[in-house]
Amino acid sequence: MLLLHWFDFQQELENCKWLREVYERKMWAYVSDYVRCKVLYEHGGVYLDTDVTLEKDLTPLLEEHYEDIMSGSFRKSLMKHSPYAKEYKEVSEFSVQQIYSHESVIRVEVTGFNVIKKLMELYLQWVDNPASPLSKKIACILHADKARLDDPGYRFAHVIDYVSGMTDSYALKTYTDLFGHAPGM
């Protein structure tokens, strides 16, 4: 049997001050986010969020469209082909009109955009001027590969990967930690 070793947790704890700190504080969500992002970054792959529970067997629906799904030509949502497509459409339309368009939700989204914008502006300073004292600290925060620091393409891609891999709560915590206040204050 082939066993792949994806991640040396002890080595990461030794090498990454931030991971060590959140581990010692028992901030498990941050630890798992770090491990997931690090493995995906180094080995590639897809992360599927697992907060969805299936209440019924999908087998009949998958079997009905098996050939199209396997060939990659199935381009529609499986829900649109389910016996509950009409109800799903009604719930979706209600959600868009009454929930996602609510002012409180829009405010949270705008705050999220601003958090990402400010983090990107800060981290992209490392791309533009990697020799500056601030950029050297940013490189440490980003856990950048020292062997590739001279490559601006690597630096840019690394910033994009790093920020896009953040959960909402981690992005907000990072913003607050780096800027000394919560967004909008």
Rounded to whole angstroms, how far apart are CA atoms 159 and 178?
Answer: 16
Evaluate if residue 146 carries a pLDDT over 80: no
Rounded to whole angstroms, how far apart are CA atoms 64 and 60?
Answer: 6
**Lowest-confidence segment of 67-71, 137-141, 169-173 by average pLDDT:** 67-71
Evaluate if residue 168 carries a pLDDT over 60: yes
Q: pLDDT, tens digit, for every residue of 39-85?
A: 766 666 655 555 556 677 767 777 888 888 777 787 777 777 777 78
Percent of the chain with pLDDT over 90: 15
Handedness of CA 175, 179, 182, 185 (dihedral sign): negative
| 10-20 as b/e: b if 16+ CB within 10 A | eebeeebeebe
pLDDT bin (cut points 50, 70, 90) of residue 120 is very high
Interval 14-25 mean pLDDT:
80
